[in-house]
Amino acid sequence: MSQTVEEFVAAARAARPDLQFDRYKVRTFGGSKAMADVIVPLILAGEKTGTFALAAEFESDPERAPRVGDWYVVTWFEGPPALLYRVTEVEVVPFEGIGERHVQVEGPSARDVKVWRDIHWPYWGGMMKQWGREPSMQMPVIFQRYEVVYPEPPLKRG
């Protein structure tokens, strides 16, 4: 039987009494089970330390937009919780303004700006078209850096 989000949060609070948060958001990564099965292990291993979102995703409910200090429970695509992170940096950047500094938070295979654009342009372009809008190089992207706080990440080798 898998743990509920509430049970997971209670376990995180018990394991890390230093964590002080009242509210949290729940999210998944990737648009499919296959993508989540790649992305979540990268986060757990400390390889992926940030993410990106289209600002347009939050236009109808700006309170949902990520902010520094927000807490997120990340679930596997099927629903069970996998980890808890805290947002440490947020920057709104036009798509064309995403640079080397930004993509370093991605998994190892997406840390090149051209590769990052080749992944995100078709994905977000499809979303924009579903919403009756044209994607553009100026569309605002929300860059986020986060810190995994539970389970405690492995020590980075340096």
Is 155 a member of any domain? no
pLDDT at 61: 94
Provide the number of structural domains found in the chain: 1
Q: Which residues of the chain have pLDDT under 50?
A: 157-158
Sequence-separated contacts (24+) of 63-68 with Cβ below 8 Å = 64/25, 65/142, 66/90, 66/142, 66/144
Q: Is residue 158 part of a domain?
A: no
Whether the CB-CB separation of 74 and 29 falls below 8 Å is answered with yes
Q: What's the pLDDT at 30?
A: 86
Within a domain: 156: no
Instruction: Determine the pLDDT at residue 152.
Output: 81
Is 104 domain-assigned?
yes
In a domain, 15, yes or no: yes
Instruction: Give the residue numbers spanning the domain of 105.
Output: 5-150
**Whole-number pLDDT of residue 158:** 44
Q: For residue 133, is it within any domain? A: yes
Which pTM value belongs to this model?
0.92
CA atoms within 13 A on the CB side of 107: 15
In a domain, 157, yes or no: no
Q: What is the CATH number of the domain that holds 115?
A: 3.10.400.10
User: Distance (Å, rounded) from C-alpha 31 to C-alpha 98?
Assistant: 21
What ranges in the chain are assigned the alpha helix state H? Answer: 5-15, 33-44, 100-103, 113-130
Strand ranges of the sheet holding 140-150, from the earlier edge strand across to the other edge: 25-27, 71-75, 81-94, 140-150, 50-54
pLDDT attached to residue 157:
45
In angstroms, the CA 136 to CA 144 distance is: 20
Mean pLDDT (the chain, rounded): 94
Does 96 reside within a domain?
yes
